[in-house]
Structure formats: C-alpha cells, structure tokens
A and B are shown apart, each in its own frame.
Chain A
C-alpha cells in the first residue's frame, strides 16, 4: 500500500496514496496505524484526498484506528474526503463518529 507518514509536532499525518481503500489493502492500513500506537503516537490525521473509493472494510480500518486512539486518550481525525467518499460516511452515519476537516492544515491545527 502506498502511504506517506509524516510527524508534525505531536501529531502524525498519514496520507493514503491509493485510489481505493478496500478489502484488499485495509488490513495493511490497520497494521500501519497499530504500529504508530505502539510507538506512543496517539494523535493521528488521515488524509484521504487521493482516495476515490472506500468500501466497508476500508471504513472498518478507520473505525479501528479511531477506537484505538480514543482508548489511548488520543484522537484520529480525517481530512480531504472526496464527495463520493464523504457520502459513504453519511450512509453509514460515521460522519457522527469522526471529526472531518477539509484539508490537512485544518485537521492538524485542531489538536
């Protein structure tokens, strides 16, 4: 999976450089996020601006990250959702769970 991980002060920015986040690559994302928690990095921003398509397992990997961050008194926030990706969060009502920002700058500044 193509992914950029960059530390921004106390927060980590994860850019997903894939067109799809689906059952083929979502477990890899979950593993990458868990590795960050193991390093004590509990405040994450996931930038989805390159992601055109997300399925239920892609959403599941984000929920997993969110729950693990919350359990460690951290947070996982999202940014850069394309309209059809955003509609998936609306359909599954996950827009009520995640803090969603237009861009990475706003998301990082919110911590």
Chain B
C-alpha cells in the first residue's frame, strides 16, 4: 500500500462537509492492495470525516465563521490517520457520556460512531486550538 497524504483547509462551515466526505471516499477507492470491502471503507471514512469535522465546526467559538478547519488524511504503513484541527474550544470525546441505547436521544451518536469505526481516537491541545486524531488499521 503506497503512502498517501492529503491536506484540506476549508472555511468553518457545514456546507463543506460533503466535499470533505467525498475526498475521503476517493482515498478509500484509490488505495492499492486493500483487501477489505472498499465501498464499506469509503462510507466509513466519509462518515468519520463528517462526524469529526461537524463536531469541530459546531463546537467552535461563536466568532469562528471566518476561521478554517484543517483536515489531514494520511495512509502510512497500512494505517489510515485522520486528524481534524480546529481553532476554537474543540470537543473532548472523553467528556461525553456513553451512548444510551435504551433512551434514544436526538444527539450524542457522533463520538460513538467514530469509536465504532476507528481503532484509536485521541484528542489533544495544539497551538491555537485542538486536534482530534483517529487511526484505523487497514490490514
């Protein structure tokens, strides 16, 4: 599997979610020698990118409409790394309650979805904001 790295910078607006998701799908379809279900992987990458980016947008500061969201997608040594950088207050997946399947609510599924699909999830502070880093093993 070749190493691939893509950097995306878009305005802090939900209208760009579709574009970001489609780029993720194209990465899945282009991977060399991936033996799993390629269309399933495409949907999963689209989904985690959409969830992580919309969380970053929705949890950004009120004055953040003119700011940018930075997304880095990389395939390194058969691992898919996705990093979503925000310039706001960010959101910490650890701070959210677990999914309650008995009492289905209107929100709170995004982090559960990310954790179900990705093998490692980490949230940390960086200069001027936060980064949500997610890794999926591709073998």
Contact = CB atoms under 8 A, between A and B. Distances in A.
Interface in B83-123: 99, 101, 104-110, 112-113, 116
On chain B, which size bracket covers the interface?
A: 20 to 34
Q: Main SS of the interface on chain A?
A: helix
Contacts of A87: 43
Given A23-B17, A24-B15, A55 B43 contact: no
A63 interface: yes
Interface string A39-69: 0000000000000010111011101100100
A19 B17 CA distance: 13
Interface in A60-94: 60-61, 63-64, 67, 84, 87-88, 91-94
A108 to B, nearest CB: 24
B25 to A, nearest CB: 9
A64 B106 CA distance: 6
Contact of A63 (B50, B57, B99, B104): B104
B57 A92 contact: no
Given A22-B54, A23-B17, A55-B54, 17 more contacts: A20-B21, A23-B57, A24-B17, A53-B21, A53-B47, A53-B50, A55-B17, A55-B50, A56-B112, A60-B105, A61-B106, A63-B105, A88-B113, A92-B112, A93-B104, A94-B104, A97-B104
Interface of B: 14-15, 17-18, 21, 39-40, 43, 46-47, 50-51, 54, 57-58, 99, 101, 104-110, 112-113, 116
19 contacts: A20-B18, A53-B43, A53-B50, A55-B17, A55-B47, A55-B50, A55-B113, A56-B109, A57-B54, A57-B107, A60-B109, A63-B104, A63-B106, A67-B106, A84-B43, A88-B47, A91-B113, A92-B113, A93-B104
